[in-house]
Amino acid sequence: MTAERKIARLFNLNDENWMRHANPWSVWTRYSVLPVIAFAFWSRLWIGWWCILPAVVAILWMILNPVLFSKPKSTKNWASKAVMGERVYLNRDNVEIPTVHQSPIFKILNTISFIGVVLSVWAIVVYSVWGVVLGVTLSYLGKTWYLDRMVWLFEDMKDISPEYKAWEY
């Protein structure tokens, strides 16, 4: 079982919920999580322990977001294809993906995103506005590039599997 599949189970991403998560509103609104968490902890000197509240709300939003939206009217858009590509990628132990998509780029992009999160945490601790901006930007650069690669993967795989093809409508 791939690590991605374990994460999908944690977020309760079954067939129906994957399609709900493929709603572009689900994809784009998840981009709000890191800045809200950063701002919440940044505000700890102004509002004290109350800073935990917006951080908890943002984390709950991240967890619940994939299942809160309805199935999209169409999946022929970048955000939906990114989610469907993630689904293809986590299934790579059952359906082999092309060699071009087996490069370490996915790990590199996730590492870039992780470094951005670590930089953001450090910057929040030391109150470095530029560090937070750089960290969030780096995190989103890695994540968005990763999602773009997932779109490419889905485009390459949708004609290989009837199941994958059925996701696009």
Predicted confidence (pLDDT) per residue in 22-44, tens digit = 999 999 999 999 999 999 998 98
- Whether the predicted pLDDT of 8 surpasses 80: no
Going by C-alpha positions, the residue among 141, 26, 148 that lies closest to residue 82 is: 148
- Residue 149 or residue 14, greater confidence: 149
Q: Which residues of 101-133 are buried (b: 16+ CB within 10 A; e: fewer)?
A: beeeebeebeebbeebbebbeebbeeeeeebbe
- Whole-number pLDDT of residue 140: 97
Q: So what's the pLDDT on residue 1?
A: 67
> pLDDT tens, 129-141?
999 999 999 999 9
What's the predicted TM-score (pTM) here? 0.88
Please give the single-letter amino acid code of residue 24. Answer: P
Give the domain ranges of the chain. 3-167
What per-residue confidence (pLDDT) applies to 66? 86
pLDDT of residue 9: 77
Report how far residue 65's alpha carbon sits from residue 58's, in angstroms, rounded to the nearest whole number.
10
Res 5 pLDDT > 80: no
